[in-house]
Amino acid sequence: MPAPRRSAHNPDSARRRVAAPTLAMLPRVGDSLSFLYADIVRIVQDDTGVCAETTSDEGDITRVYLPTASLSCVLLGPGTSITQPALATFARHGTTVVCTGSGGVRCYSATVPASLTTRWLEQQVHQWSDPERRLAVARAMYSARFQITVPAGTTLEQLRGMEGQRMKALYKLLAQQHRIGRFRRAYDPDSWDTQDPVNLALSSANTCLYGIVHSALVALGCSPALGFVHQGAQLAFVYDVADLYKAELTVPLAFSLHDAPNPEGAARRGFRERLRLYKLLPRIVSDVQTLLAPDEAEPLPDHHAVDMVNLWDPSTGSVPAGVNYATQEVPDAP
């Protein structure tokens, strides 16, 4: 059996050996948001820094040192282990660590550093807490989703009607292209095995999409539970954002698998093999920032690690405060 090889992936690389470790530096977003995906490696801290290491069958160790100071989020895929000192270093540098499925298509858990700015969470709550602003974000989502201008007075019920008509038209078009007859979207976990291949593939691909969106929202510091269209679930905002990309990504993929013997597995593999993760994560971050801060001509630098904590004031909104004791040392008293 050949020794495992370390593979440096890029967005144009669409295939990798199943047993090969992966270290994929994802595109940088703005001034501070950058992502790293890793699987089948051991991440440790040594005297030099944090490194990802693999061991060959002959016992040879290959180490790759990670740029901890410039990472905002590390995605740990299957087969990855990490030591406590390495986790502590990521925390000191303000790096979010997310445990994901293969290719990032699940989001199982996350470790969020104390220094992560609440800027985007506060912006999300600001837009969500007022019915008019919340509806305005919902309109912006539908406008971005279907590339149309939504009138300011459009109600949420009218938006849902527009969505239903456009999705039915898309289903009809794809069904005609693939010659599968009439299609109706259905999701029934209690009768999972009785569903048709397209519905099975679509549900599977959507779940992959939810995992990527969830990871991006965690890295931004947003709440996955505060949705603008969906509500009542811990992943409401995840479903909102994922809807922006379904017509482009998961729906066409599902229809292409209408005759696959295992549509669920084929959808997962197809989503990963096309490396949608590498193109989608930065796009999600940019789209969410635009939705939550629509009045800004240019997105503000995120400043992933903040040095100062401000105090809330009902009149001025925010006033300077003292030292953020979570990220800075306190000088000894004289």
Residue 306 in tokens = 């903040």
Q: Give yes or no: residues 80 and 209 share one domain.
A: no
Q: How far apart are the first and last CA of the chain?
A: 65
Residue by residue, DSSP assigns 17-29 as -TTS-EEEEPPPB
What residues does 75 pair with on adjacent strands?
Answer: 37, 98
Question: pLDDT at position 316, please?
Answer: 61
Parallel, antiparallel, or unpaired: how do β-strands 107-111 and 81-82 relate? unpaired
Q: Which of 70, 89, 111 is the last residue of a domain?
A: 111
Domain that includes residue 277, residue range = 119-292
* pLDDT tens profile 158-202: 999 999 999 999 999 999 999 988 888 888 777 777 788 999 999
What's the DSSP call for residue 274? T
Give the pLDDT band of residue 132 (cuts 50, 70, 90).
very high
Give residue 330's region: left, alpha or beta (phi > 0; psi -120 to 50): beta
Nearest-5° angle of CA 251, CA 181, CA 167?
Answer: 35
What residues does 272 pair with on adjacent strands?
Answer: none
Residue 295 has pLDDT above 50, yes or no: yes
pTM metric for this prediction: 0.76
CATH number of the domain bearing residue 23: 3.100.10.20
Kindly give, in sequence order, each residue whose CB lies less than 8 Å from that of residue 190, ignoring residues fewer than 6 positions away: none
Query: Is 281 within the bounds of a domain?
Result: yes
Cα 206 to Cα 187, 267, 286: the distances in Å are: 11, 9, 20
Give how many domains the chain has, as a whole number. Answer: 2
Q: Give yes or no: residues 75 and 125 share one domain.
A: no
Query: Is 329 within the bounds of a domain?
Result: no
Residue 5: what residue type? Answer: R
Q: Give yes or no: residues 130 and 251 share one domain.
A: yes
* pLDDT tens profile 209-248: 999 999 999 989 999 999 999 999 999 999 999 999 999 9
Q: Give yes or no: residues 85 and 230 share one domain.
A: no
Question: pLDDT at position 81, please?
Answer: 94
- To which residue do tokens 């597995």 refer? 265
Kindly give, in sequence order, each residue whose CB lies less than 8 Å from that of residue 40, ignoring residues fewer than 6 positions away: 4, 19, 20, 21, 22, 54, 77, 78, 79, 80
CB atoms within 10 A of CB 191: 9
What's the DSSP call for residue 179? T
CATH number of the domain bearing residue 216: 1.20.120.920
Query: Is 298 within the bounds of a domain?
Result: no
